[in-house]
Amino acid sequence: MNTRSISLAAIPSIKIHPHRATPARQQRRWLATATRTVTAIALAAVSCSAARAEVTAPAALEPWLGKHTPQLTQFYKQLHQAPELSFAEEQTAATMAGQLRSLGFDVTEQVGGHGVVGVLHNGDGPTLLLRADMDALPVVEQTGLDYASQVRVRDDRGATVGVMHACGHDMHLTMHLGAVRYLVEHKEEWSGTLIAMLQPAEERGAGAKAMLADGLFGRFPRPDFALALHVAGDKPPTQIWYRAGYAMANVDSVDITIHGRGGHGSAPDTTIDPIVIAARLVLDLQTIVAREIKPIEPAVVTVGSIHGGAKHNIIPDSCALQLTVRSYTPAVREQLIAAIRRKANAAAESAAAPAPDIQVSEGTPALFNDPAVAERVIPAVRAAIGEENVVQDEPSMGGEDFGRLGRAGVPILMMRVGSVSQQRLDEYAQADGPPSLHSSKYWPDPEPTIRTGVTATVTAALELFGAP
Ligand SMILES: [Zn+2]
Ligand SMILES: [Zn+2]
């Protein structure tokens, strides 16, 4: 039995800051606090063991979720059936802009492409940004759900592709809408400025950058904090996972073209063979992480593609490699890129080949969850959904462009919310394991995921709005 969470100190939104509050606001807050306190004491008196979740989330949230989760689930299914690819989120953006307007937000559309920014002032206090992403993926859905996406579009090359919310961004939008709606309907529980950020093109690592370049932190109030949620496809929907500090990696792409001198396969002495140079380079690249990077620094160099030649007996003129390069710190990132350049140049030089072309595309910076924000938010979320349901995550070498907001100087926290029922997880465990995100077979269980995601977001927001 865990009785710790019934103490009033653990109720996250109970703090009062009279120095900021107007008399009327102060009175409303005291009333809200008193209601919560009475509820907490009453529930604690009834049953210590059952009281944990009920008494520590905002008192109004549980009944609110009971009333609104069916509508939010319907909204989710509509979004799920109308997915749009990165840079094409026109209808999704319009839908979200309309929802925010109806809630009283001051809404600006077309921020960095299809980005939407809603601003809602509610008295003095901190500015909090809640971010959700909007884009779907070129995947033909194979979930068999009655609300599965049937959408097909033509891609950049003219081919017909399926479109699916296979990364749960439709769920992010739904949880986002639920949380902001609760906050709008319970303005007496907080004070400050709420910014809703709906971001396009996350899957291309481009949307956050475009919104920042289009004045996200200049045309709108600069946030003191920013929060985001991402679904997890391998966790139950009762759980929130978090990682303070570095959670996701710098992601860089490197294209290397090795140039040689083509000729007949029977006369290698008359050629410079770019395939042999490339093969040597692939192995040499492995020594960067193994021999040059400090062992306690995470780093990855993967050659994901190598293409050269067309026929058995022709030595080609060139061979092309595509690399993904992952790291956490800016120093390791620079060290990796410099070493790749050096080794590619050296491989060419050792064969008396021309210098290779090396292109580094600026990717997504690492996602660094602000430890001070986590220190405030995580205990509040634990108190709201239960100690055992908030789990520390491992860091990952995946990428997420929400990290750009942190890189721009705003303390950020991205949490993950489980989305697959324990029963389904058990069934998957008997087979090949749960489908990963981006799989044509991934789907979240809407109701419990919405409930946990909205609870975590609201609790985190109320905690941060309580900042002095
Ligand atoms: Zn994704
Ligand atoms: Zn995603």
Contacts of 280 (CB under 8 A, 6+ apart): 347, 350
Asked whether residue 88 carries a pLDDT value surpassing 80, the answer given is yes
Helix axes 61-81, 169-185, angle to 10 degrees: 140
Q: What's the gap in Å between 84 CA and the centre of ligand 2? A: 14
Task: Rounding to the nearest 10 degrees, give the CA dihedral for residues 268, 270, 271, 272.
Answer: 90
Tokens of 458: 């609201």
Write down the pLDDT at residue 56.
66
Asked whether residue 25 carries a pLDDT value surpassing 80, the answer given is no
Q: Is 83 exposed, middle or buried (0-12, 13-18, 19+ CB in 10 A)?
A: buried
Averaged pLDDT, 254-259: 98
- Of the bound ligands, which one is closest to the alpha carbon of residue 230? 2
Write down the pLDDT at residue 51.
40
Tokens of 404: 């750009």
Write down the pLDDT at residue 163.
98
Asked whether residue 137 carries a pLDDT value surpassing 70, the answer given is yes
Active site residues per annotation: 135, 202
Asked whether residue 281 carries a pLDDT value surpassing 50, the answer given is yes
The secondary structure element, H or E, covering residue 227 is strand 225-232
C-alpha angle 215-396-449 in degrees, rounded to nearest 5: 75
- Which tens digit of pLDDT belongs to each residue from 108-124? 999 999 999 999 999 99
Write down the pLDDT at residue 11.
35
Confidence of residue 59 (pLDDT cuts 50, 70, 90): confident
- Which tens digit of pLDDT belongs to each residue from 163-213? 999 999 999 999 999 999 999 999 999 999 999 999 999 999 999 999 999
Asked whether residue 71 carries a pLDDT value surpassing 60, the answer given is yes
Backbone angles phi, psi at 332, to 5 degrees: -70, -40
CA 275 to chain centre: 39
The mean pLDDT value of the chain amounts to 90
- Of the bound ligands, which one is closest to the alpha carbon of residue 437? 1
- Residue 2, classed as helix, strand or coil, is coil
Q: What's the gap in Å between 207 CA and the centre of ligand 1? A: 13
- Residue 303, classed as helix, strand or coil, is strand
- From CA 94, how far away is CA 96, in angstroms rounded? 6
Q: What's the gap in Å between 141 CA and the centre of ligand 2? A: 16
Q: Express as a percent the part of the chain with pLDDT over 90.
A: 85
- Of the bound ligands, which one is closest to the alpha carbon of residue 133? 2
End-to-end CA distance of the chain: 33
Q: What's the gap in Å between 314 CA and the centre of ligand 2? A: 43
> Which residues lie at CB < 5 A from ion ligand 1?
167
Q: What's the gap in Å between 437 CA and the centre of ligand 1? A: 7
Q: What's the gap in Å between 91 CA and the centre of ligand 1? A: 19
Asked whether residue 61 carries a pLDDT value surpassing 50, the answer given is yes
- Of the bound ligands, which one is closest to the alpha carbon of residue 231? 2
Q: What's the gap in Å between 136 CA and the centre of ligand 1? A: 8
- From CA 125, how far away is CA 112, in angstroms rounded? 27
Pairing state between β 192-199 and 127-133: parallel
Write down the pLDDT at residue 47.
40
Which among 275, 243, 103 is positioned nearest to 178, based on CA atoms?
103
- From CA 237, how far away is CA 76, in angstroms rounded? 16
Decide if 405 contacts 212 (C-beta within 8 A). yes
**What fold does the segment set 60-248+366-465 form as a domain?**
Aminopeptidase (3.40.630)
Q: Which of 53-62, 230-239, 281-290, 347-356 has the weakest average pLDDT?
A: 53-62
Decide if 436 contacts 396 (C-beta within 8 A). no
- Which tens digit of pLDDT belongs to each residue from 315-350? 999 999 999 999 999 999 999 999 999 999 999 999
Q: Express as a percent the part of the chain with pLDDT over 70.
A: 88
Asked whether residue 251 carries a pLDDT value surpassing 90, the answer given is yes
Q: Which of 157-161, 230-234, 317-321 has the weakest average pLDDT?
A: 157-161
250-364 — its CATH code?
3.30.70.360
Write down the pLDDT at residue 363.
86
Give me the residue spans of the domains in the chain.
60-248+366-465, 250-364
